[in-house]
Structure 1
Amino acid sequence: MISNQILQNTIEGLKAIARVELCVMDVDGKEVASTAAGMENCSAAAVEFVSSAADSQEIQGYQYFKIFDELQLEYILIAGGAGEDVYMVGKMVAFQIQGLLIAYKERFDKDNFIKNLLLDNLLLVDIYSRAKKLHIQTDGKRVVMIIETENGKDSNVLELMRTYYGNNSKDFITAVDENNVIVVKDLSEGDSGKEIDKTARSAEAYLLKEGMKNIRISFGTTVNEIKEVSRSYKEAKMALDVGKIFFGERDIVAYSELGIGRLIYQLPIPLCKMFIKEIFGGKSPDDFDEETLTTINKFFENSLNVSETSRQLFIHRNTLVYRLDKLQKSTGLDLRVFEDAITFKIALMVVKYMKYMETFEY
């Protein structure tokens, strides 16, 4: 169904061209859009016109037209004034609105199909038959992007993205919940991973310009068939969540960049708790003081290089060694040993994941 705002914008634009007052009413005589005050007085005549057999009629100096959606009467158009010119303008406006109905219905059908495709609500045979009916290419390269903003459901991100991507019939912009906008991006031009990232950054820049805040964008891997689009969507969804846990400083995250975080995200919480208890006993990394945590993080950043870490921390090498020895005594893990360092790093990531899940639950 066309929104009232679209109808209002349409008849205002046509009035500016034809200089004829226009009003659109529903079949109950309720005004939907109008270019002039007072045309609601035509309501009773519009209801009578609905019951008539005529498709157009002049009533009390106004021209009335029926607008159908296939065989269903959808709207009554009223053109202000009598005469051949007003009649011709009214016929053209009615034709334009009927064309809009068809276009928006087709877009609605495509939108419904894409939503069900993303959510795995279609059988394989239905995917291909409906795609063919809707003239959607089945074997094109695509990637799914998810866009999340601070504004959430109160924003107009969906319409902004539809405006941004314009009338490209190969891209699909939709939403399956109140928080995120989903872009099924066509990659028939052979976009690489870098180009996808560039596309995401361009979309982010556009939204920032439109006043959106705290934008996060994630995307899955490239798929070659329409039946695989749901997989790219699931990957993008995971990338959005994992990105919040382990890559909080990044606003654009690709599924292919998640690394070990992707594995940790799929672990059950009881198993995580058991693992942490085995590594730290009754302690938690949160119990470490800020100095120790800074030392650990910097040591990992510098690939376990003692000299470079001590230089960046502005401390003597022996001081760093002392801190690492102290950490080894409390945890039993020597970060200078690769295997222990991996265990410790994973444990820190698991704790991050557990904390995120706790806040998410509450």
Structure 2
Amino acid sequence: MIIAKDLAQKIVDHLMEIVERNVNIMDCNGIIIASGQPQRISNFHQGGKLAVEDQNVVEIKPEEVQQYIGALPGVMWPINIKNKIVGVVGVTGEPHEVRNTAKLVKTVTELILEREMLLADSGSENRLKAQLVDLLFADNTNNALDKINTLADMLNYKVNLPRVVILVKLEPMNNDDFEAQGLQNLLSARIRENVLNLIKDAAFFTADDISLFYKRNLCIIKSVPDQDNLIQVDKFIKSIVDMLNTIQPKLKIQIGLGSRAKYQSELRQSYDEAKFALEHPAGNMIQAINHDAILVSYLFKDHNEHCSYPLALHELKAKFDTIKGKYDMRNTLEGLLANNMNVSAAANRLFIHRNTLQFRLEKLKKIVGLDPCHSFEHALLCKFLLSMDQAK
């Protein structure tokens, strides 16, 4: 690691406000790269060079100054980052007066540099994540499979796990609070990093999940190995809300949830659904594409660029197919729709007893979750399920 001169000077300025002593930072060649005494910058400091060579503290007393080129009385410590000396930090003054101060300055300098290194590493990782997500959410991922696999290997991302896309919009509750609390920097690098660290600590977040800020929203690609894990997704989302409210209670949080994508090629569809759910005017904090009103709105939207039907409807269709043949469900729904959901009229048209039709509807409600005679949205969804059959 090479210490940048501008960063070194910021560290010096910060430390001098605390210790009220002159502080110098030198590179491994003993050249002063930052100082509270600007005239000394770029000068050679033999005491700093010796601290690097001996890998130990160097103290210079007033009577010893002539022995060290470019030196003043003081204490110099090597800066050690990950067991490697990257420079020297020194405090000017009588050694017996600044010995403890110099040790403190060394420790603080190392902490700041370690922090900067972590931020740099994090920035590199986030850039790789952004590149991967751009490819995963592209219109056609088949043209970029090699790039996707390369980036996935670098991030230890398992490409073929089923996943769901979660989008989180963070906004101030009102403009007054926004200004008063200084939340205008909400999307600053430091705030974003804090939020992403919180997400990693949330319940049910795993090594197979990805989180990043993507197109102004927090984007989480959550692994859902099987359908039963969707319950954990709900708990995961609630834990995120609780954690965000803890660190900043004046935030307005809105969440959009897409469908479970079984395959990598379906992630774009899950993202589109999450974005639509997030922007839907229903007004709830957490809005999922499989909520009846949102799914119906999505089906009537001009969205057929990527997929004829949303993944959420395919999930309903899979459940519907398990009972379609056994209970003659296709003819049953066609009869109901043709008779404006009038059970008696539909039973007459189907030449079955009314109780038989009621039994079939109870099965539809229990297994598929649709109750078309009591919900307009459910009736529309049944119509779309029949359309999917015709499209085969």
| TM-score with structure 1 setting the length | 0.51
What is the deviation of 1:219? 1.4
Corresponding position: 1:204 with 2:248: no
Q: Which residue of 2 aligns with 1:266?
A: 302
What is the deviation of 1:40? 7.5
Instruction: Give the C-alpha shift of residue 153 in structure 1.
Output: 5.7
CA contact (8 A) 1:218 1:236 kept: yes
Q: CA deviation at 1:169?
A: 4.3
Match for 2:120 among 85, 94, 105? 105
Whose Rg is larger?
Answer: 2
Structure 1: where are the runs of 5+ without partners? 2-24, 269-302, 306-337, 347-362
Determine what percentage of the aligned residue pairs are the same residue: 17
Partner of 2:259: 221
SS in 2 for 1:105: helix
- Equivalent in the alignment of 1:4: none
Counterparts of 2:18 and 2:115, CA distance in 1 = 24
Q: What pairs with 1:52-201 in structure 2 (closer than 5 Å)?
A: 54=49, 55=52, 58=58, 60-65=73-78, 77-78=89-90, 100=115, 103-120=118-135, 123-151=144-172, 154-155=185-186, 158=192, 159-166=194-201, 169-178=207-216, 180-187=217-224, 192-201=229-238
Deviation at 1:125, TM superposition (A): 0.9
Q: Name the counterpart of 2:288.
A: 254
- What is the deviation of 1:127? 1.5
What RMSD, in angstroms, separates the aligned Cα atoms of the two structures?
A: 4.8
Report the alpha carbon displacement of residue 91 of structure 1 after superposing the two structures with TM.
7.8
- Which amino acid in 2 is paired with 1:172? I
Counterpart AA for 1:232: S
Contact 2:274–2:288 (CA<8 Å) still a contact in 1? Answer: yes
Match of residue 5 from structure 2: 27
| Cα contact 1:119–1:230 (8 A) shared by 2 | no
Distance 2:25 2:120 in 1: 29
Write out per-residue CA displacement over residues 58-107 of structure 1, whole angstroms, 9 at most, x where no aligned residue. Answer: 464232546789x9x7x865578869999998887777666555544332
Structure 2 gaps of 5+ residues are 34-41, 59-70, 173-182, 305-339, 343-372, 382-392
What secondary structure sits across from 2:252 in the alignment?
A: coil
Secondary structure in 1 matching 2:159: coil
- The answer (yes or no) to whether the contact 1:66–1:77 under 8 Å persists in 2 is yes
User: What do residues 252-304 of structure 1 show as CA deviations (whole Å, max 9, x unaligned)?
Assistant: 11123332200333279xxxxxxxxxxxxxxxxxxxxxxxxxxxxxxxxxx99
Question: Are the structure 2 counterparts of residues 104 and 228 from structure 1 closer, same or farther at C-alpha, using a change threshold of 3 Å?
Answer: farther
1:223 and 1:86, CA in 2 relative to 1: closer, same or farther beyond 3 A? Answer: farther
CA distance in 1: counterparts of 2:296 and 2:120, whole angstroms: 44
Matched residue type, 2:18? A
Residue of 49, 52, 71 corresponding to 2:32: 49
